[in-house]
A and B are shown apart, each in its own frame.
Chain A
Amino acid sequence: MRLVTLNLLMCNSEECSGRNQALTLNPGEITPGTTQFNHDLTIRMLGKLDWLAFVNAALRLGHELPDNITEADHQNSELIQRIFDILFNVEIQTGELLCPNCNRTYPIEKGIPNMLPQDH
């Protein structure tokens, strides 16, 4: 699971319906990824991400990012490359996702988050 998915994914429990929240990560093992750099994709993602949540998640894993991204930064290829690497090339192999609203946890095993309801 990459940070991009972590940023987009929200809690799906019935309790949270209507006020779904982003999940927080308790990281376990983390490996570097090998996804090839894609400039268009990164720019496109900038318009979609919950930027603050992303900055916080990155900070917890030891990557620092600016609080704001402006149009001018889109030309800054070094920054875009760095954002891409944090978004797509940090793979969370094990760990746990926690919903701050309903306190449900979702385990991550072999890089695959398990979003099934608990009775499975």
Chain B
Amino acid sequence: MSRPEEIAPPEYFYNEEEANKYTTNSRIIEIQAKMSQRAIELLNLPEPGCLVLDLGCGSGLSGEELTECGHFWIGLDISKAMLDVASERGVEGDIILSDLGDGFTFLPGTFDGAISISALQWLCNAEKADHNPYKRLAKLFESLYSALGRGRRAVFQFYPAHPQQIEMITQAAVKCGFLADLIIDFPNSTKAKKYYLVLYSGAHQNYKQFQPLDGDDQVKFSKRDKTHKKSKKMHKHSREWILEKKAKQRKQGKEVRHDSKYTGRKRKDKF
């Protein structure tokens, strides 16, 4: 998997060329929209007409989903080129050029929620000599905690490079007073796997109410099955083999044709 955050700092990586991809590339747009919709679902806002903060709003793709749900959003991003694209597209939210790692200040307790799509991993790298990733994350969460109303949530979709990064991020968030919950969608797939960090400010209610898409996020323990070796190996391309393979791909969130009586059946010779 390519990791753009390891190539250059966000304000340089997202130049005009890169920013334009976010208006022309339909694949990027689709993925961003899907992740935003899931994040909004996890945000669980009570009714339309809420004020939402979008951290790392970029060209405003995630904001458009918020607008569609009837919310108003204020977006922060460090890339000028991406924000220019957003304002050219005429997004319905307000955008501000700002470095998340430096924190931000709003009137305390104003926001009804916050989302962030693929931004957090950018803060895990030290781009300058005086950058300390942990401190920058802490600053972000501190600012967020004061900007959010009590009992509100923030949902961060991000791509962690390694487990320690998840630990660092959650630690920084918990230290600022949040309750944190990590939801992993499609845990069995390398490609469709998505991490959502849900932060709760204040109230415990509804904590851990969401389940990851497609079940098993927990490792199942079982004693080693001694009879396992004896079990008959499936013939490749047999019906059972095909059914199992399809089930596996379904778990990974791929598009798979439904099973029918024709599944795995041979064609007639004359074909």
Residues of A within 8 A of B (CB): 1-2, 4-5, 7-12, 16, 20, 22, 35, 38-41, 43-45, 48-50, 88, 110-117, 120
Contacts and interface: CB of A to CB of B under 8 A. Distances in A.
B106 A116 contact: no
Contact of B51 (A22, A39, A45, A112): A45
A35 B49 CA distance: 13
A120 B98 CA distance: 11
Contacts of A10: 105-107
Given A4-B94, A8-B110, A12-B103, A116 B51 contact: no
B264 interface: no
A17 B271 CA distance: 78
Interface range, B side: 20 to 34
B96 A112 contact: yes
B82 to A, nearest CB: 11
B111 to A, nearest CB: 9
B102 A117 contact: yes
Nearest to A16: B105
B83 interface: yes
Given A10-B106, A110-B84, A116-B78, 8 more contacts: A22-B107, A40-B48, A44-B49, A48-B51, A110-B87, A113-B97, A116-B97, A116-B98
Interface string B73-115: 0100010100110010000101111110011111101101000
A12 to B, nearest CB: 5
B179 interface: no
B72 A88 contact: yes
Nearest to B86: A112
Contacts of B11: 120
A48 B110 contact: yes
Contacts of B51: 41, 44-45, 48
Given A10-B106, A12-B105, A45-B51, A112 B74 contact: no
A20 B108 CA distance: 10
Given A41-B49, A44-B50, A112 B87 contact: yes
B177 interface: no
Contact of B97 (A7, A11, A35, A112): A112
25 contacts: A4-B72, A5-B94, A5-B96, A9-B96, A11-B105, A12-B98, A12-B102, A12-B103, A38-B72, A40-B70, A41-B51, A44-B112, A48-B107, A48-B110, A49-B107, A88-B72, A110-B84, A112-B84, A112-B87, A113-B97, A115-B97, A115-B104, A116-B99, A117-B99, A120-B11
B107 to A, nearest CB: 5
A9 B10 CA distance: 23
Q: Tell me which of B80, B87, B92, B96 has the highest count of chain A C-beta atoms within 10 A of its own C-beta.
A: B96
B98 to A, nearest CB: 4
Contacts of A35: 92
Contacts of B97: 112-116
B47 interface: yes
Contacts of B99: 116-117, 120
